[in-house]
Every structure is written in structure tokens, then in C-alpha cells.
Amino acid sequence: MFQIDKDKCLGCGGCTITCPKGIAIGSENKAEIINEEELIHAGGESVCPYGAIVLEEDDDIEDVFGVDEEIKDDDDQSMSF
Ligand code: SF4
């Protein structure tokens, strides 16, 4: 999942020219991703020459483990009945 590093974003709008359907300039004068698929097609991180578009690690695996832990906890509780 792409995110905007707001500390690095200058609000220059270059990304909105390269990827007008994927990024817009928001109220803080910083880029905001409005359509990630369009951003991927436009080049992803390379759309920003200042490195403000970053690809965050997908944490779905952690979510899955979190669910597993909940299931395990539920199992433990059901055994106590
Ligand atoms: S993300 Fe990059 S190209 Fe887009 S406004 Fe911010 S600094 Fe400019």
C-alpha cells in the first residue's frame, strides 16, 4: 500500500501531473492518494522525485496472525467452560 510521507512532500503538484487520477493535493497542501491502482499504473514511488511516495509493507500477514491469536484465545476460553 502506497502512502505519502508528509514530511517529504513539498506540495509541488508534480505527481498530480504525472498521475492526475491517482493523486490530488489535499487541504494541507500535501499530496493525497485518491486511487492506488492509478498510482501503480503511473509508476508508484517513481511518480515523486522527492521520495515522498513510499510503499509501506503489507501488514496483512500480521493481521492474519492477530486473527489466529484471537482464535487461539477463544479456543482457550471455550475449554475453560
Ligand atoms: S508527492 Fe512528491 S511530487 Fe507529489 S506534491 Fe509531494 S513532493 Fe510533489
Please tell me if the CB atom of residue 31 comes closer than 6 angstroms to any atom of ligand 1: yes
Reduced to 3 states, what is the DSSP secondary structure of residue 54? strand
List Cβ neighbours of 9 (8 Å cut-off, separation of 6 or more): 30, 31, 48, 50, 52
**What is the structure's pLDDT at 5?**
97
Task: Give the mean pLDDT per block of 10 residues along the chain (81 residues).
Answer: 97 98 96 98 97 84 53 55 58
How far apart (Å, rounded) are the C-alpha atoms in residues 26 and 19? Answer: 15
pTM: 0.72
- For 17, the domain range is 2-80
C-beta of 39 in contact with ligand 1 (< 6 A): no
Are the C-beta atoms of 4 and 13 separated by less than 8 Å?
no
Separation of CA 6 and ligand 1 centre (Å): 9
Distance 43 CA to ligand 1 centre (A): 13
Domain of 68, CATH number, reads 3.30.70.20
Give residue 57's pLDDT: 80
Give residue 27's pLDDT: 87
- The total number of structural domains that make up the chain: 1
pLDDT of residue 78: 52
Q: What is the 36 CA–ligand 1 centroid distance (Å)?
A: 15
